[in-house]
Structure 1
Amino acid sequence: MRASATATEAAAILSSSGAARAASTLRPARRSSASAALSLLAHTKARSETEHRILTENAIDVVMRLDASLRRTYVSASSRTVMGYEPSELLDGSPRDTVVPEDWAIVAAWLDGVRSSGTSGETVFRVRRKDGTALWVEGRCRTLPSGAGYMTVLRDVSGRKAAEERTAVLADELARLANSDGLTGLANRRRFDAALMVETECSVTSGRPLSLLLLDVDQFKAFNDHYGHQQGDC
């Protein structure tokens, strides 16, 4: 019986020793696997940061990060071509530093709206370039998580604004031509009808009477015969 017990104990010792050796073999493998995972994570993060830097530094839009007090903590390299400023010249400054004073109320309302809603917003305003010229930009702003501040993007839309202004001028000119006589430049029948409709509606709304005066100039033919019909029409 004692020999049998001794054999059993020996087997148990051998089994325990084998398990210990197996465990000691697994520990380095686990450490190696964890180290590889951390290395991969660090490599992925570094690559992501590099790609993000390449995108922001080569973008045509100006990317800025603002802290909770609206102080600039990051400015992309595109500020050189768009605004004429080095990124370092704009760091630690406020948006008000470069906004055209007449447009600051628009920008302040825009930023307040983004701040109160906690989401994003956009608007169009003018900034002052380093050379003193005004530049139309479209601004987009969104809040960052956990109150980390704001991310803003400024896009040069001066070409679009110039096209809009030219279109507005052309529209005004077409409206003028459509409502005036080509010979005299005076208001034509179309303009008369439109004005009569407006005045009639005002009379009805206010309850005040409306008068229409017609003039018939006697012997005006003599004026036309002497000075010409073009002068008479004028």
Structure 2
Amino acid sequence: MTSPHPDSEAVADTDPSVYRTLLESTRAIPWRIDWASMRFTYIGPQIEELLGWKQSSWLTVNDWADRIHEDDRQKTVDFCVAQSQKGVDHEADYRALTRDGDQVWIRDVVHVVRHADGGVDALAGFMFDITARKQAEDKILQLQRELEVLSYRDSLTGVANRRMFDTLYPVEWAKARATGEPLSLLVIDIDYFKQYNDHYGHVQGDECLRRVAQALDSCASRTRDLCARFGGEEFVLLLPATDEDAARNVAERCRRLLQHKEIPHARSGVGRAVTVSMGVGTIVPGAHDDRNVFLDRVDRRLYQAKSAGRDRICDTET
């Protein structure tokens, strides 16, 4: 490796202003705090451009702490003090307050300078403006959350999808078992839907699915209630803390809402409007009950309703 030119070494050794010029020409903001007095012995002039506070106003660590956003202040100060007392180099991300009341995301990179005996002499470091990076990270997190929501939503009807039901059903089953509260399920199928599609076409069939889903979803009105598209023209309502009578009432309300919508169905075998068949079940899960067995039982009741002529509710087994 070629050695630096001896003249350049001499300049650096004899002229400390070279180092200061280099430090103050970067976008990173250098600083130094004396540990004993907790006073700034230096902070780069770039701080004024970034935060608006004059370079001369940074006197003690209190000036630094007071200019941290109140939501980040205590945890940031506690973390930095604890790490510094241990003599550990560290980094901290926090929102700094600007003089005009705005905020900037800062990454503080801290080096602990020690005495010969190992005690802390000073803290030195750099502040970096990471606002753009944080905004990009926040945008990515927002998109991830939106994608997660979409992954649990049926794209055609807008109600929850089978994945959402499969996620929440075990949770509500466990809650019902722990609390002794009843849990109800409604499994619902649109009557003669194949004939509907054959007669009106798939575009109109999709619209029919959306209108039925909206009606069913409006009946799952409590926060924990769930209406999900189970597949094809089949839907399921998951109703926590709902007894048999209440579940039957929800089922009847679903049928009435669809009757009021009067969605034409010229090829139905039970009338001239879209109808549904339903299986309804309620259980207080015990230690030996199986949620899949219960779901299968309610599903069989749906097919009993269909076998009995459709456009009806079955909540018992024959």
Of 171, 183, 193, the match for 1:211: 183
Shift of 1:79: 0.9
1:153 aligns with 2:119: no
Deviations 1:76-128 (A, max 9, x none): 12112222233222234632131112211122122222222202111210111
CA–CA distance in structure 2, aligned partners of residues 84 and 190 of structure 1:
51
Which of 76, 95, 119 lines up with 2:44 in the alignment? 76
Is 1:162 aligned with 2:162?
A: no
**Letter in structure 2 aligned against 1:63:** P
Relative to its length, the structure with more helix (as a share) is 1
Q: Kindly indicate whether residue 36 of structure 2 is the aligned counterpart of residue 52 of structure 1.
A: no
SS at match of 2:99: coil
2:166 maps to which of 175, 188, 193: 193
Contact 1:56 1:77 in 2 (8 A): no
**Equivalenced residues, count:** 190
- Give how far 1:201 is off: 4.6
Partner of 1:131: 100
Q: Where does residue 54 of structure 2 map in the other structure?
A: 86
Higher percent of residues as strand? 2
Secondary structure, counterpart of 1:187 in structure 2: coil
- Between structure 1 and structure 2, the one with the greater Rg is 1
CA distance in 2, matches of 1:107, 1:140: 12
* TM-aligned CA deviation for residue 203 of structure 1: 5.5
Distance 1:227 1:74, change over 3 A: farther
Give SS of 1:223's match: helix
- Is 1:175 matched up with 2:148? yes
Compared CA separation, residues 98 and 227, structure 1 to 2 (3 A): farther
Between 1:80-89 and 1:156-165, the stretch displaced more is 80-89
Name the structure 2 match of 1:101.
70
**176-185 or 122-131, which deviates more:** 176-185
Q: Which region of structure 1 is more displaced relative to structure 2, 112-121 or 195-204?
A: 195-204
Equivalent-residue separation in structure 1 for 2:185 and 2:155 (angstroms):
24
Mean alpha-carbon deviation: is it higher for 128-137 or for 104-113? 104-113
Choose 190-199 or 175-184, whichever is displaced more. Answer: 175-184
Q: Does the residue aligned with 1:88 lie in a helix, a strand or coil?
A: helix
Distance 1:117 1:227, change over 3 A: farther
CA apart distance, 1:184: 4.5
Cα offset, 1:158, TM superposition: 0.6
User: Compared with structure 1, are the counterparts of its residues 176 and 43 closer, same or farther at alpha carbon in structure 2 (3 Å cutoff)?
Assistant: closer
> SS at 1:148's partner residue?
strand
Structure-2 change in CA distance of 1:123 and 1:227 (3 Å): farther
1:126–1:135 CA contact under 8 A, matched in 2: yes
Code of the residue aligned with 1:128 in structure 2: it is L
Give the corresponding residue for 2:259: 222
Q: Which residue does the alignment assign to 2:110? A: 141
Give TM-score, length-normalised by structure 2: 0.52
Q: Take 1:43 and 1:220, find their aligned partners in 2: how far apart are those partners?
A: 87
Rounded Cα–Cα distance in structure 2 between residues aligned with 1:193 and 1:124: 39
Structure 2 unmatched runs, 5+: 1-8, 187-249, 266-272, 277-318
C-alpha contact 1:62 1:82 (8 A) present in aligned 2? no
**Retained in 2: the 8 A contact 1:110–1:122?**
no
- By how many angstroms is 1:74 displaced? 0.5
| 2:89 aligned partner | 120
Percent of residue pairs bearing the same amino acid type: 23
Task: Calculate the aligned-residue CA RMSD, in Å.
Answer: 3.2
